[in-house]
Structure 1
Amino acid sequence: MIDYSKFPNKQIACIDMMSFYASCMASLHNLDVRTVPIAVVGNLQHKGSIVLAASPPMKKQFRVKTGTRLYEIPHHPEIRLFEPKMSYFLEISMTITRILHKYVPAEAIHVYSVDESFIDLTGTEKLWGNPEQTVKEIQHEIFETLNLPSTAGMGPNMLMAKLALDLEAKKTGFAKWSFEDVQTKLWPVSPLSEMWGIGRQTEKTLNNIGLFTVGDLANAELSRLEKKFGIMGNQLYHHAWGIDLSEMGIPILEGQVSYGKSQILMRDYNTVAEVRAVLLEMCEDVARRIREVSKAGRTMTLGIGYSKNAFGGGFQRSRTIGEATNDTMKIYKVCKELLNEFHEGKPVRQVSLSITKLEDEHSMQLSLFDNKKWQVRKLGETMDEIRARYGSKAILRAVSLTDAGTAIKRSELVGGHKG
């Protein structure tokens, strides 16, 4: 058993805007997101464009949800379709943060995403009274000010607040979990990927060793989990007991363990050459982000999703190289090998790329047989600086000028969508 008295027991809330993009568009057009079927679509000019957000009535009445294609949305007079206005969404997000600042100082707020924030109300009782009631007052103020409904979870730490939000509050509007709720509310959760922080691949690995519920994970031998997953095994075990030592402002899963990019293409890419073009652009982008934090990676994972016109499907394959790299062309070479080996000749509609097994850049060895490594690294750094100063279109690879390239069009977007 865990002695919870040894761990912090705070008053932390996780506040999430309900169907944020759809709610923003509803507010802009004086509609009620709770009663009007609304979908925010990436591009209304392309029938294959996807739904980025849908209001509750849209999901319930018409079974339209995030990821649905535009051509799959039924023609109905009550349905309202909008394109995203990312600059407006960001403006609303900042307004929400300013509202939170009225209740707590900046260091007690962690903006987790554009529509979700953590807030630490520990010690505010003398100012605002009961923290639970304060959260509800914040939700009320956001709704009265911006016409945005929200849900909120509360807990003794960031993890428990997030779990209360995801597993209960999104159905009820508000939920507060304590350590006493772990065994009755958290342990029955299954499949394991329903728990925040556990992905499909980790779930599969846990299932393979006989763990199917959060309770199974909590009652597993810690040494066994650490042997299988390393430090992540220790974290999984303690999370299953509702324990999280993250400080406000630090991600719950400390340290980014991967860098990646995913892109749904606006049309079917029918040839490998076309896919290679967009893949090189993605390698360039991910490599730049890794270089910015002085990291290098050894495992590249390529995901390919086939077009629905080819009955869907796809693959995801990884390859680990002997020496960590942040060189665009070395990353591209590995991804190109994976594409050549596993692509089945079907038209492609989605491409994803991630790099894991990260290490500090200074650990990269200088090879006796590659005397250009340092020059290549400096070249990459120079290109990064030019793009940072003059914009992402200031310097491009030739593939971006072809019909298959997407970098130029995407550079005009905010958050991947129209501003």
Structure 2
Amino acid sequence: MWQRDRMDSPPVDVDLALVGGGGAASLVLAALARHRVRDVRIAVVDPVHRRGQDRTWAFWGRPGNDLDELLSASWSRVEVVTPDTRHALDLSPLRYAMLRSGPIYERAAAAERRLGVTRIVAAAGSVDDDGERVLVRTVEGRPLLRAGWLLDSRPRPPHRPGRTNWLQHFRGWWLRADRPVFDPARAVLMDFRTPQPARGVSFGYVLPVDSRYALVEYTEFSPHLLTGAAYDAALAGYRDLLGLDPARLTVAEVENGVIPMTDGPFVARPTPRVVRLGTAGGATRPSTGFTFSAMHRQAEQVARAVAAGRPPVPASAYPDRHRWMDAVALRALNGGLVDGPEFFGRLFERNPASRVLRFLDGDTTVAEDLAVMRSTRLRPMVTATVADAAGRLRDRLAPSRHPAWTVPPPVVDSESPNVDAPGH
């Protein structure tokens, strides 16, 4: 690996370029090294010289993959709690796992060295694709590199605003206790006993690393962000609801983040030789904000293609029918047609946990999808389906009617940089 810092140098010429050096690019680099890709000139363009422990992901899947040795914790049992019920779920044969970003970045750095990657410490600007090569310029307009293929993981809003535009926004405290207070064998996946917003859904969750250290988080699905003081108040309330004594706890780290929840389309391949990854490439599940598993799949598919000499184009992150189901669910929640805690509680109450989790990962059959649909209340979902169909028809007749919409900047405080939500 060599690093290019001088911006007055001639443009670098490579076969494959990655713009952005976060989670999506790091997973791709590790997968390329794991598949023993050789004789491919690779460059990474990222303004951050070295990334540290800046985010946390959590996801579900089967044990026995390349991520096992990097995990901070994993659980085969989780709880989903509503005001009326507590569901203790056995996830077998799946597991819920937590992964901090530091090990992912370290593995990517090692992969860069093995692959002989050129790292360019700069912010990429415009991207021009002539169908044969892709030219990347700096934000000032100077030529930076030319590549046969470009993988772009920079965050961006959808191609157009959706019919529903919500956000998943959150704050989490990494709590260290002076005595054992957490159950390291069980995570709380969703706890809907939190006060519910006037428009939206809120929940807390607990991801214990051991009996004295855990991530405790407050999350909302809603159209608007809160103030920093409001997130702290909600977290303090949830901590008290859990029966945790603040005098015996230390807040070791703080995490914040914002993830789009929208049925607006993300274009995964805007030009012939540019491929978008991560949220920009459709990896975020609109109804939940989950992203990491789809990013991991994208990385594996890209690496397999490059190793076989094929174009590095991953499959769609989720089936079209799941995106339609997400759009209907978002409309039902946005319109107040369903109660959020009851809606999610019924999914886990009336389906095996593994089916719900595989559904949220886009990995269920049509028959399983129908079973998931049957677990929701019929009348409000039919109403949402009809309204969604009418909205799609209006979009066809007047495609420019949508106002401009962009994802607001993440909530950032002095204790910690922005992170992706655990579970995402």
From the two aligned structures, give the one with the greater helix fraction.
1
Structure with the bigger RCO (C-alpha within 8 Å, sep 6+) is 2
From the two aligned structures, give the one with the greater strand fraction.
2
| TM-score for both structures, normalised by structure 2 | 0.25
Structure of higher CA gyration radius: 1
